[in-house]
Amino acid sequence: MRAGAESGWDFSSRWLRDTQSLTTIHTTDIVPVDLNSLMFAMERAIAARCRTAGDGACASAFTTRATQRRATIDRYLWQATTARYADWDLSTGKPTGSVNAAMLHPLFVGLASPAQAKAVAKTVRRSLVADGGLRTTTLKTGQQWDEPNGWAPLQWVAIAGLDANGEPALAKDIARRWIGTVGAAYAETGKMLEKYNIEQRTPGGGGEYPVQDGFGWTNGVASAILDRYRELAARDANPGK
């Protein structure tokens, strides 16, 4: 339970043996694709800083770590037959069956090949794009990090990752759908919210607590999207155009 909370996805069918039962959570058996992607990015960043500081040994060590992590991600987490990155279950020695938005982190940090990025984009179009943005998973479980909820940071990971990997149209489409959801919920409630139901473009639900008002990452991602795609702001200001 603590590991699931620390993952940020508290809670999700990603961590469950029985996707409908929180009592089967086994987060510490799961090797997550998003965590390992972010560690790859961290290792490359440390290597770059070490080079700038003239510390060749440090730069070499962290470059090696990043190279090894990328190879291991390709070996265990990349699933060519299902065109996705997947979490790895240490207890079974197999990838999990969860199709979820974490698969976009390798694109976001720049470790996916062009072929991998193209394959992931196809899976995203087929399974994760909803009317109101990017689905978190494809399962409805009552957990808040599952369908039908969408979360701002995952929208940005997808938008930035796809745009940087030859999929600008899909990136902009997700941005348009998400801004439409945020705008519709704001018109209804007068609030920016922690999470949204992206099937109905309404406030999100599920989980262990009421939906939170605010909300830092929603505000930040909405601002970043409108900075990147200024025409979406103009369209919202002139809905008839």
For the annotated catalytic residues, the residue numbers are 10, 194
Residue 84 DSSP SS3: strand
From CA 191, how far away is CA 78, in angstroms rounded?
A: 39
From CA 89, how far away is CA 82, in angstroms rounded?
A: 16
Is the C-alpha dihedral spanning 136, 38, 81, 95 positive or negative?
negative
From CA 212, how far away is CA 129, in angstroms rounded?
A: 24
Residue 129 DSSP one-character state: E
* DSSP collapsed to 3 states, 133-184: EECCECCECCCCCCECEEEHHHHHHHHHHHHCCCCHHHHHHHHHHHHHHHHH
